């Protein structure tokens, strides 16, 4: 299964991924309409700066997802393609925020106005099946790729340095 992988050496902290995510989850699907929407569309990826490194973080759709286990309403579930989401399942999100509390990456947000949890839902894939954040990244810091393939690339680049 493909995942959004990060090459932190390439991230410039430009926040293009955050903008693309917000636009993809807006009603009008354009930057102009996203800026003027009320309530504002919530981004589902965050660029975290730690010292000299910038790291875009989003839901990892964990194999053993603590948010699924913690969801009292039964809204958080895994879809057939491996995506962990609280939309379209057997339960309805009640905004208890248990998933927010147990997420090891801190990437589930609360939308107070609607009392629902918001996280990466992969409902932003373009025609080629690439997430909006990956497509918008100008440096290629984000890749939508199989984990094994990403590991092979990293090892090749590491060996090439020596």
Residue ranges matching CATH 3.30.70.20 in the chain: 1-59+122-156, 61-119
d(CA 114, CA 96): 12
According to the CATH classification, is domain 1-59+122-156 in 3.30.70.20? yes
Neighbours of 36 (CB within 10 A): 11
Secondary element (H or E) of residue 36: helix 31-36
Question: How confident is the model at residue 159, as a pLDDT?
Answer: 63
Task: Provide CATH code, domain 61-119.
Answer: 3.30.70.20
pTM: 0.88
d(CA 37, CA 35): 6
Question: How confident is the model at residue 51, as a pLDDT?
Answer: 84
Residues 6+ away with beta carbon under 8 Å from 114: 39, 95
pLDDT tens-digit profile of 15-59?
999 999 999 999 999 999 898 998 888 899 999 988 888 999 999
Average pLDDT for runs of 10 along the chain of length 162: 92 96 94 89 91 92 96 96 93 95 94 90 92 97 95 80 54
d(CA 150, CA 54): 19
Give yes or no for a cis peptide into 134 (omega within 30° of 0).
Answer: no
Instruction: Identify the CA nearest to 103 among candidates 138, 72, 58.
Output: 58
d(CA 23, CA 20): 5
């Amino acid at each position: 299964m493909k995942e959004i992988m990060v090459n932190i050496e390439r991230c410039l902290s430009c926040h293009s991924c955050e903008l693309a995510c917000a636009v993809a989850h807006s009603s009008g699907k354009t930057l102009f309409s996203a800026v003027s929407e009320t309530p504002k569309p919530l981004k589902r990826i965050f660029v975290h700066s730690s010292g000299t490194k910038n790291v875009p973080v989003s839901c990892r759709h964990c194999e053993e997802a603590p948010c699924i286990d913690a969801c009292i309403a039964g809204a958080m579930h895994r879809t057939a393609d491996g995506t962990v989401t609280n939309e379209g399942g057997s339960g309805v999100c009640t905004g208890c925020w248990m998933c927010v509390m147990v997420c090891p990456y801190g990437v589930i947000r609360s939308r107070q106005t609607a009392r629902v949890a918001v996280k990466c839902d992969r409902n932003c894939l373009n025609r080629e099946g690439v997430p909006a954040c990956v497509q918008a990244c100008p440096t290629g810091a984000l890749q939508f790729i199989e984990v094994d393939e990403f590991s092979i690339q990293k090892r090749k680049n590491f060996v090439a340095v020596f």
